[in-house]
């Protein structure tokens, strides 16, 4: 692991906690699905925790991220709370989006999360636009665009990379290469090298082990500092793996990937296990302390799940609110009632 990160006990433990929070959240979300308590489907982030945490820990809450259909990890890493997230997953009024968005649209503006996105590649323009506004407004904020290997097939990425490079925008394109785009290996959907594609626009590009939280964090921290000084954009390809299926219902996976492959990643390259071991080796935490962290987070998650299950659904009259900014109810408004009251 990289030693370049300042040896800061508290920060190391925070990185660990954040990864455990994501895994715990996802395990509970999966359970809610299996118990038929969660409406719809969701995409598990388990296995990729070091990517979201390593990157988001290098950001301030005023920095912006855009996320994907596999977005719970990004949302938590950027500072979201369990309760409002579980409420959103269950379509409850206290959710981050008042139940209107659900798993694939979770957003948390207060922490700079502009939202998950159910359109693959759909957020690439948004992240680049957030970088443009940061530059024009002189805020020094940066933007990180999370997307998967599959999303690199979308033409939009090439359009916005071109403009981001021409206009030197403070944005990092962070490609989480988990080896698969739905049920297809990346090698079958991506020609050539992803890194070379960004480099073709003159964008400085990096490839990093996405299971190594310190490596991800150190790389990102360096790039963020440079973005704040007017450099950029940058591209990072993070090598990672999703342990679960493409979505919670994708159980029989043997036709597209082997059990051995899944086990090998979980056994040898688990970001949480490996980082925990390193923390112990460095005498930063004992295994008892780590277990305590884990059980504390488990308890917090269980309480949040209970809370969300009991929480009320939105009132029926919310169905046509938030369609237009500045309009209370859309239905009267579109029929000509000017204030939509």
Partner 1 sequence: MDREITHSQAVNEAIAEEMRRDSTVILLGEDVAEAGTPFKVLSGLVEEFGTERVIDTPIAEPGFMGIAVGAAMTGMRPIVDIMFGDFLFLIMDQLCNQAAKTHYMSGGKLNVPLVVRTNLGATRRSAAQHSQSLHALVAHIPGLKVALPATPYEAKGLLKTAIRDDNPVVIFEDKLSYQMKGNVPEEEYLIEFGQANLLREGNDVTLIGTSSMVQTCVAASDLLAEKGISAEVLDPRTIVPLDERAILESVRKTSRAVVVDEGHQNYGITAEIAARISEKAFYHLDAPVIRLGAMDVPVPFSPALEDLTVPTPELVAEKALSICRGELVHDA
| Interface contacts to partner 1, rule CB under 8 A | 39-41, 91-92, 97-105, 117-122, 150-151, 153-155, 181-184, 188-190, 255-256, 313-314, 316, 318-320, 323, 330-331, 334
Measured from the CB atom, the residue of 26 and 149 that comes closer to ligand TPP is: 149
Residue 147: name the closest of 128, 166, 131 by CA.
128
- In which region does residue 260 sit, left (phi positive, over 0), alpha (psi from -120 to 50) or beta (all else)? alpha
Reference 143, options 234, 237, 45; nearest CA is 234
Strand pairing category for 171-177 and 234-239 = parallel
Query: What residues from 103 to 132 belong to the interface with ligand TPP (CB under 6 A)?
Result: 118-120
Residue 127 · residue 66 · CB < 8 Å: yes
Taking the least distance from each CB to Mg ion, the nearer of 204 and 262 is 262
CA distances from 307 to 31, 191, 302, 314 (A): 15, 47, 9, 15
Given ligand TPP, partner 1, Mg ion, none, residue 70, with its beta carbon under 5 to 8 Å by kind, binds ligand TPP
> In residues, how long is the chain?
341
Site string for ligand TPP, 67-106 (x = CB under 6 A): --xx------------------------------------
Instruction: Verify cis geometry, omega within 30 degrees of 0, for the bond prior to 233.
Output: yes
Minimum distance from CB of 176 to Mg ion (Å)? 7
Identify each DSSP E strand in 70-214 by its residue range.
143-148, 171-177, 180-181, 184-185, 204-209
CB of residue 273 vs partner 1: minimum separation in angstroms? 31
100 binds, among ligand TPP, Mg ion, partner 1, none (CB under 5 to 8 A by kind): partner 1
Nearest to 160 by CA among 124, 112, 193: 124
- In 3D space, the residue among 21, 73, 46 whose CA is nearest the CA of residue 265 turns out to be 46
For residue 240, state whether it binds Mg ion (rule: CB under 5 A): no
Whichever of 150 and 271 has its CB closer to ligand TPP, that residue is 150
- Taking the C-alpha atoms of residue 308 and residue 310, their distance in angstroms, rounded to an integer, is 5
Stretch that binds ligand TPP, among 7-15, 91-99, 144-152, 161-169 (CB under 6 A): 144-152
Give every strand in the sheet of 64-66, ordered side by side: 64-66, 143-148, 171-177, 234-239, 204-209
Which residue, 48 or 221, is less far from ligand TPP as judged by CB? 48
Binding at 235: pick from partner 1, Mg ion, ligand TPP, none (beta carbon under 5-8 Å per type) = none
* Contacts with Mg ion, 180-199, as mask; x by CB under 5 A: -x------------------
Partner touching 92 among Mg ion, partner 1, ligand TPP, none, CB below 5 to 8 Å by kind: partner 1
DSSP letters, 274-336, are: HHHHHHHHTTS--HHHHHHHHHHHHHHHHHHHHHHHHSPPPPGGGTTSSSSTT-S-HHHHHTT
Segment interacting with ligand TPP, rule: CB under 6 A, options 87-95, 143-151, 276-284, 300-308 = 143-151
- Of the residues 54, 150, 210, 276, which one makes contact with ligand TPP according to CB under 6 A: 150
Cβ 148 to partner 1 shortest distance, Å: 9
Q: What angle do CA 317, 321, 322 make, to 5 degrees?
A: 160
* Smaller CB separation from ligand TPP, 113 or 221: 113
Q: Quick one: which of 244, 275, 308 has its CA closest to 81?
A: 308
Closer CB to ligand TPP, 18 or 240, in the complex:
240
**Does residue 178 bind ligand TPP (CB under 6 A)?**
yes
Which residues of the shown chain bind Mg ion in the complex (CB under 5 A)? Answer: 148-150, 178, 181
């Amino acid at each position: 692991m990289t030693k370049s990160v300042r040896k800061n006990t508290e920060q190391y433990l925070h990185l660990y906690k954040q990864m455990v929070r994501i895994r715990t959240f996802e395990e509970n979300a999966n359970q809610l699905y299996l118990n038929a308590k969660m409406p719809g489907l969701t995409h598990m982030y388990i296995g990729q925790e070091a990517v979201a945490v390593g990157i988001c820990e290098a950001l301030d809450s005023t920095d912006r991220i855009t996320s994907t259909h596999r977005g719970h990890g990004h949302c938590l890493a950027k500072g979201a709370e369990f309760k409002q997230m579980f409420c959103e997953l269950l379509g409850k009024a206290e959710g981050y989006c008042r139940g209107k968005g659900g798993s694939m649209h979770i957003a948390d503006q207060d922490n700079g999360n502009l939202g998950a996105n159910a359109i693959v590649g759909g957020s690439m323009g948004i992240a680049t636009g957030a970088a443009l506004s940061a530059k024009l407004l002189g805020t020094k904020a940066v933007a990180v665009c999370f997307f998967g290997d599959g999303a690199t097939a979308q033409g939009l990425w090439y359009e916005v990379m071109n403009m981001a490079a021409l206009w030197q925008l403070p944005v990092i394109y962070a490609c989480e290469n988990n080896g698969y785009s739905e049920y297809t290996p990346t090698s079958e959907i991506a020609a050539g090298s992803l890194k070379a594609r960004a480099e073709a626009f003159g964008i400085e590009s990096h490839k990093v082990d996405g299971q190594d939280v310190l490596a991800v964090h150190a790389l990102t921290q360096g790039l963020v500092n440079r973005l704040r000084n007017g450099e950029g954009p940058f591209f990072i390809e993070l090598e990672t793996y999703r342990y679960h299926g493409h979505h919670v219902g994708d159980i029989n996976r043997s036709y597209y990937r082997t059990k051995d492959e899944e086990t090998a990643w979980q056994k040898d390259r688990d970001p949480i296990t490996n980082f925990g071991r390193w923390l112990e080796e460095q005498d930063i935490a004992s295994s008892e302390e780590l277990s305590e962290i884990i059980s504390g987070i488990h308890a917090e998650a269980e309480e949040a799940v209970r809370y969300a299950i009991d929480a009320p659904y939105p009132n029926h009259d919310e169905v046509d609110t938030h369609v237009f900014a500045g309009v209370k109810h859309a239905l009267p408004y579109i029929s000509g009632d000017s204030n939509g009251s």
